[in-house]
Structure 1
Amino acid sequence: MPISFTPISYEDDWSGSSWTIDDEDNLSSLIAHIALGQSRSVEKILKETGSNFPNTLGSAITGARGLLTRKSAEDPYHRDGWLFQIISWIAARKQNTEAIIRAPHMNHAHKGLDGLIVEMSDNKVDYVVICEEKATENPRKKIIEQVWPEFEQFENGERDHELVEIVTSLIDRHNPEYCDEIIEKVLWDQQRAFRISVTGSSQHQTDKAKKALFKGYATTISGDPGKRRAEILIIDNLRDWMEKISQAALQKLDVEIQNV
């Protein structure tokens, strides 16, 4: 599998993991197939069910190439942001094979939640995990200026209508018979949790650096430490690495073209 995880935490403030990319070739293949609209098949493969990728629809390749290509040499940010959301989705699926996880967005310019995870047991919701996923060379600045304000909106109930709609549609897809009953029993103010995923550099390797990076998490989101999850992918030369991964994924699409 392409990603492995090392646990990280700070007292009762937050916990999560640091990611290591173990197999870039495998990762680029998964990204290419997600770009083709095959996230369901990727999900089965990540669950190690023995599944294979389906035949590729030839007309899907053009759109997939568009997702993997930055629009200009000066502006890789939207493409890289989408790529990181895909990597974060892959990580989340590997970390929890049983959770219900919203499929990746298929649009660089998507507005709204970066991701959402519903953790369930015995036909009840344990946590609704609200995800913010940022590919950035300035993770602390991004967390303070964008992530904390987003999380506070959800924590204060300002976007409950959005949350309820997404969670309902996810549960209805996986457990339609009991969907209404499950939703009625969700304690929205108690069962929501939050997951930050950011890119960092080698300067964030130490525990001290990670503590500083996620400083303020417990004051932004109060309550049980299980509500505060923190994930980091440490990559130096972020833009160059993202370009390398996207080019590798594009090469995977070239192989798919030959097989159509």
Structure 2
Amino acid sequence: MLISLKPADTTECNFSEWKIGNKSRSQLVEVIAYLYLRQEENAQRVINALEPRLRVPKGRVAQNVVRKLTAPHAEDVALLRSGTDAKKEAARKRIRTSIIHRDGLLFQHISWVAARLALPHGYMTSPHVRQADKGFDGFIIELDDSGRDIKRIVLCEDKASKAPRNLISSSVWPEIGTILSGDRDDEILADLVTLLKGVPDIDAETAVDEMFWEGAREFRVAVATGEDQRKAGNFLHIIAGFESVAGGELESRTAGVLAFEDVRQGLALLADEVAAKVEEIADV
């Protein structure tokens, strides 16, 4: 299993603690590399233990991906060492931001893999291309047995943080509140129709029109953080309040936490491995 999910009992949601297995780490790195290269079919083939098809990245795609996986950037490190005081301070801020953006985008890719493993028959949006992209981090759609009607829509929020509880309380819970109030219905429906148009044998607009909106909508919150955030042997305190904010049945709320000894160091190491794999794929 690329990412193992260990469930924990809580009334807040269907909660699980995620773990990247040592034996499957190289396979996970390869999946993420193909996702960054926008080769989702090859990523799925690796997940299914099939040989990926040779597709040479176009233009500067591979170089752009490697830069997104690299933080801090060399020019900012150089300024931090030898620039003026003003330039050092500006470089310090850019370094901090670049690390946060790299980690956030990388964790979105990890979360995509975890979601694909948990819902292998769901239709999912691809991870974002741009760092710090606005909007939802992802959608998952499941159809009913007929394959023509929407059974459920899962709206995903992914966060990588050294202090996740504050981030969840100040950002994710208010975001869910705006969704439940209907303030973002137009954005959600636009993305849903776009995703559904890629599903064979379904009329996207008809499926959306016939959907029971409140009954189909679910939420998934995923967090990457450090082991120092573990309390009383678990991470349940991070998602406290999920039930009161989102409401609905227990099954409509899902959360997971992936813990590293140090979240920044752990994601930096993984980013280096993915960047190396991207370069390897691009050189084939």
Superposition TM-score, scaled by structure 2 size: 0.84
Q: Which has the larger radius of gyration?
A: 2
Is 1:102 matched with 2:134? no
Q: How many residues align?
A: 257
Quote the residue 1:37 is aligned against: 38
Residue in 1 that maps onto 2:239: 214
Partner of 1:27: 28
1:170 and 2:169 equivalent?
A: no
Taking structure 1 as reference, are residues 257 and 219 closer, same or farther at Cα in structure 2, changes over 3 Å only?
closer
1:184 is matched with: 209
Q: Which residue is equivalent to 1:149?
A: 174
Aligned residue number for residue 65 of structure 1: 66
Distance between the aligned counterparts of 1:174 and 1:5, measured in 2? 28
1:58 deviates by 5.2
* Residue of 225, 237, 244 corresponding to 2:262: 237
Cα shift at 1:167:
0.9
Which blocks of at least 5 consecutive residues in structure 1 are unaligned? none
Shift of 1:16: 2.8
1:145 counterpart letter in structure 2: S
Q: What amino acid is aligned across from residue 153 of structure 1 in structure 2?
A: T
Identify which range, 117-126 or 136-145, moves more after superposition. 117-126
- The answer to whether the 8 A contact 1:35-1:68 is kept is no
Q: CA RMSD in A?
A: 2.0
TM-score (norm 1): 0.91
SS, match of residue 104 in structure 1: coil
Identity score, percent: 26
2:138 corresponds to which of 115, 122, 130: 115
Provide Cα deviations, 1:197-250, integer angstroms capped at 9, x if missing partner: 002333555677433221111110112111111111011211111111111112
1:124 pairs with 2:160 = no
Match in the other structure for 2:112: 89
Question: In structure 1, how many angstroms separate the alpha carbons of the residues matched to 2:115 and 2:270?
Answer: 19
Paired residue secondary structure (1:229): strand
Q: 1:150 Cα deviation (Å)? A: 0.7
Say if 2:150 and 2:211, in contact at 8 Å, map to a contact too: yes
Q: Is the 8 A contact 2:138 2:155 kept in 1?
A: yes
